[in-house]
Structure 1
Amino acid sequence: MNLLHTDVAVIGAGTAGLAAYRAAKAAGKRAVIIEGGAYGTTCARVGCMPSKLLIAAAEAAHEARHIDAFGIHIDGEVRVDGYEVMNRVKRERDRFVGFVVKGVDNIPEEDRLTGHASFIDNLVLMVGDHTQVKARSVVIATGSTPSIPDAFRVFGDRLVINDDVFNWNTLPKRVAVFGPGVIGLELGQALSRLGVYVRMFGARGGVGPLSDPTIRDYARDTFQQEYFLDPDATILDMAREGDEAVIRYQASEHVAITERFDYVLVATGRIPNIKGLGLQNTQLTLDAKGVPLFDPATLQCGQSSVFIAGDANNILPLLHEAADEGKTAGTNAAHYPQVQPGHRRAPIAVVFSDPQIAMVGQRFADLTPGSFVTGEVSFEDQGRSRVMLKNKGLMHVYADRLSGRFLGAEWIGPRAENIAHTLAWAYQQSLTIAQMLDMPFYHPVIEEGLRTALRDAAAKQQDA
């Protein structure tokens, strides 16, 4: 057995782990990075990039079917070749993964360990059955995995998660989607637009990450016009018969429907990958789910020299947040016991549905009633949106009632991913609505819709 001494041991070679390793090395410390699975981040392998590839194909098919409104016509029916769609998804997915693997290959071989890591003491790790690592500090960056409620196990191999979708050789005919969150909305709508028969079921009325009831209801109504979506579904029975998943659900007060599907896609959330880490062999205090208690600012677990970053801590499971957290954890691990809060950027979230959903700054649900005003704009009559026939959307911006400071926004609408960045920059700079209105707005652009919402908020703030 090999024995290795190091300053910082990083468990996990995903986005957070790679950032932590680089930060520790930049601080002049010895560091090793340990990976028990295939190299390639969640984003590149099963997340951001392959999902956007599938969405891009779906958008192309959707646009081709709806160009007649512009006076442009395609002779014959738009045909989707499932094999070709999935071939491109996998081919480009592998290309993105290759970039990540190439980056890992640039790490010196002596700094890379392959094998499952588990704690056998506070700062002692066993990697596979071949190497014991004694470290001064440890960064846990093991990522997350989809959460699958036990009730869905009845479907056997008809049950899939988003990871599985990107390994399909072709598109199935019928898919039931459970969970209209970010992943469910994106993949469900994409599959529907690619000709797959989709039924989407949710619980407690949620649609994406939205917390503003008005925006959430608008989003629900918008998506329901395109495909079946019940965000508060009553499931009566689930079973597996042959190669089919059978679901019986309440369609209306007096009507129950039984439908059969090729696959059931479960997108009901993700949980940190902490199983098998041997955390019980440490003195770390764990929460009810077995995750170490930690400081969200420094990412330090208790007063120890163990840090946890990225999806493993489940604060904000987003690539850019994982990269920032990895840097914070790696830097603090290198300089322990001197630890500092890491840089936190303005909160920003985007759902790549159509219309897109976005949230910036503080959520509606977290604001104190009576302390803020809400500016509103509908994109249905917004000039540029109507020109492009992308005029579905509703936006709310929130401003402090007394100071007029921009507090946040939730909306559904065209090109939300771009507007979200503008608003995130404004939020991070602590701008007021008045200061934002002093900025330039070109004509004709979708951002003029944002200006309408800001003007509405300014008028209400003056009347407050």
Structure 2
Amino acid sequence: GPDSMITARGARAVIIESGPHGTTCARVGCMPSKLLIAAAEASHAIDAAPGFGVHVDGAKRIDGSEVMGRVRRERDRFVGFVVEGVEKIPAADRIEGRARFVDRHTLEVDGHTRITARAVVIATGSRPAVPAMLAAAGDRLVVNDDVFSWETLPRSVAVFGPGVIGLELGQALARLGVRVVVLGRGGRVGPLTDPVVRGAFLEAISDGLYVDPDAHVKRVARITEGVEVEYTRLDGTVRVESFDWLLAATGRRPNVDGLGLEALGLELDANGVPAFDPATLRVGDTNLFIAGDAANFIPLLHEAADEGRIAGDNAARLPDTAPGHRRLPLAIVFTDPQVAIVGAGFDRLAPGTFEAGEVSFADQGRSRVMLRNRGHLRVYADRATGRFLGAEMAGPAAEHIGHLLAWAAANRMTVASMLEMPFYHPVVEEGLRTALRDLDAKLRSPQAIAA
């Protein structure tokens, strides 16, 4: 992180932390959610077994307390590894408390301790953002941070927000026997921007899970039994349903309020984040740097780790800052089907400059063998050079195919050179080859060449 890069350059670093140690990923994000998803996959495998002629006599039994018990135990184990790393830092260089800027070089901790520094890295993370209208749920309103502290599984949950968190948790809970509806506004489904892929994904994930990405919610109210939601269903009917909990999965906001940034004469955005250089993470021409979820730039663990190194290195070498190495964009959603966005997503491509190849997994051989033949893949290439630009995918093994495509894009491969690589049979990756062949044919077409 920032401290290791600073000390590596011979400077002293002090860490100020007001909350529990452990990353958002390990404590309340990617790791505990994957533990819940793993339990859901085991449950779903039993449900899908009859399709293979495998039948389980008797009813399936899900022990909610055992499910959540394993989630918490393994979560605590992952957090423990992070805490061990923090505890290796000398105690004199670790300060517990909440910091606030007095000026650009001075921080005050809990109103009594003052620290003067040549440079400051802001890496305060983020927290769930909750729309005001959901406050009517009262003490039945929860965020993803709360879910992983549940002692057992609830009977029902209304999820607001069909983004990454809402879809992952919503589908997992539904497959574990919880009655779930997922409601959104604006029509977005996860991070997908390609309308073809988004449509295929919505159709697939709606099998066994009610998802309305542009719902009309009329009312939210706290009732004796939990929370009541009045909304218009996709078929036009108005439904009033009660749930044990209302889960707000409506994004996250950076933890920068309370730092006193507004008094430092900085340009701040609507979330209070100061303007910074994405290459160096330096705030203007100041001695301040910002990294990770606090920067609200690319809120992913591997990106946050890179940003910590970049910010720490530049803080130590100030004023001689240098652009840090940034990786090719890669985002993955662990739903079923999985989602992957690689490199330049559809919304970042200029119309008329690219060609797209595609494949449906409906008839892809290995996918059908596994009864996982749902989803769609679209791959994009520069029309003039044939260089592979990126992809959007919803389908089986997207977490693995996404990495394969990210490495290809990072190495600036052309579609033709990608097709020279080996594709074994029978594997899901043959679907990728089909999409690449489709893309290659379009690149070679007279229309593309003429353009």
TM-score when scaled to structure 1? 0.95
Tell me the CA shift for residue 282 of structure 1: 1.7
Moved more, 292-301 or 276-285: 276-285
For the residue of structure 2 that corresponds to 1:239, the secondary structure is: strand
For the residue of structure 1 that corresponds to 2:55, the secondary structure is: coil
Residue 259 of structure 1 is aligned with which of 230, 236, 241?
A: 241
Looking at structure 1, the residues matched to 400 and 319 of structure 2 have their Cα atoms a distance apart, in angstroms, of: 40
Equivalent pair of 2:254/2:271 in contact (CA under 8 Å):
no
C-alpha offsets along residues 356-391 of structure 1, whole Å, 9 cap, x if unaligned?
011000010111111111100111111111111111
Tell me the CA shift for residue 122 of structure 1: 1.2
1:134 lines up with 2:116 in the alignment: yes
Looking at structure 1, the residues matched to 82 and 288 of structure 2 have their Cα atoms a distance apart, in angstroms, of: 26
Looking at structure 1, the residues matched to 249 and 305 of structure 2 have their Cα atoms a distance apart, in angstroms, of: 24
Structure 2 match to 1:58: 40
For the residue of structure 2 that corresponds to 1:337, the secondary structure is: coil
1:429 lines up with 2:411 in the alignment: yes
Equivalent pair of 2:274/2:283 in contact (CA under 8 Å):
yes
Q: What is the letter of the counterpart of residue 180 of structure 2?
A: V
Structure 2 match to 1:442: 424
Looking at structure 2, the residues matched to 267 and 161 of structure 1 have their Cα atoms a distance apart, in angstroms, of: 6
- Aligned-residue Cα RMSD (Å) equals 1.0
1:270 lines up with 2:252 in the alignment: yes
Q: What is the letter of the counterpart of residue 358 of structure 1?
A: A
Residue 186 of structure 1 is aligned with which of 120, 145, 168?
A: 168
Structure 2 match to 1:70: 52
Structure 2 residue ranges without an equivalent (≥5): none
Structure 1 residue ranges without an equivalent (≥5): 1-18
Equivalence map 1:18-417=2 (5 Å): 19-252=1-234, 254-417=236-399
Equivalent pair of 2:216/2:231 in contact (CA under 8 Å):
yes
For the residue of structure 2 that corresponds to 1:377, the secondary structure is: strand
Tell me the CA shift for residue 64 of structure 1: 1.2
Q: What is the letter of the counterpart of residue 344 of structure 1?
A: R
Equivalent pair of 2:157/2:180 in contact (CA under 8 Å):
yes
C-alpha offsets along residues 388-421 of structure 1, whole Å, 9 cap, x if unaligned?
1111110000011111110110010001000111
Tell me the CA shift for residue 130 of structure 1: 3.9
Equivalent pair of 2:361/2:373 in contact (CA under 8 Å):
yes
Aligned in 2, Cα 1:253/1:218: closer, same or farther, shift over 3 Å?
Answer: closer
Moved more, 110-119 or 181-190: 110-119
Looking at structure 1, the residues matched to 422 and 433 of structure 2 have their Cα atoms a distance apart, in angstroms, of: 10
Q: What is the letter of the counterpart of residue 397 of structure 1?
A: V
Equivalent pair of 2:346/2:392 in contact (CA under 8 Å):
yes
C-alpha offsets along residues 183-212 of structure 1, whole Å, 9 cap, x if unaligned?
001000000000000011011111100000
C-alpha offsets along residues 149-196 of structure 1, whole Å, 9 cap, x if unaligned?
111111111000000000000000010001110000100000000000
Tell me the CA shift for residue 237 of structure 1: 1.3
Q: What is the letter of the counterpart of residue 325 of structure 1?
A: E
C-alpha offsets along residues 253-296 of structure 1, whole Å, 9 cap, x if unaligned?
65211000000001111110011101123232222332111111
For the residue of structure 1 that corresponds to 2:266, the secondary structure is: coil
Looking at structure 2, the residues matched to 235 and 287 of structure 1 have their Cα atoms a distance apart, in angstroms, of: 29
For the residue of structure 1 that corresponds to 2:378, the secondary structure is: strand
For the residue of structure 2 that corresponds to 1:369, the secondary structure is: coil
Tell me the CA shift for residue 226 of structure 1: 1.6
C-alpha offsets along residues 56-104 of structure 1, whole Å, 9 cap, x if unaligned?
0000000011112222221111111000000000010001011111111
- Runs of 4+ residues deviating >6 angstroms: none
C-alpha offsets along residues 409-437 of structure 1, whole Å, 9 cap, x if unaligned?
00100010001111001111111100111
Equivalent pair of 1:122/1:281 in contact (CA under 8 Å):
no
Equivalent pair of 2:104/2:287 in contact (CA under 8 Å):
no
Equivalent pair of 2:227/2:245 in contact (CA under 8 Å):
yes
* Identity in percent: 59
Looking at structure 2, the residues matched to 101 and 93 of structure 1 have their Cα atoms a distance apart, in angstroms, of: 12
Looking at structure 1, the residues matched to 145 and 443 of structure 2 have their Cα atoms a distance apart, in angstroms, of: 46
For the residue of structure 1 that corresponds to 2:310, the secondary structure is: helix
For the residue of structure 2 that corresponds to 1:424, the secondary structure is: helix
Tell me the CA shift for residue 314 of structure 1: 0.8
Equivalent pair of 2:253/2:271 in contact (CA under 8 Å):
no
Looking at structure 2, the residues matched to 318 and 190 of structure 1 have their Cα atoms a distance apart, in angstroms, of: 21
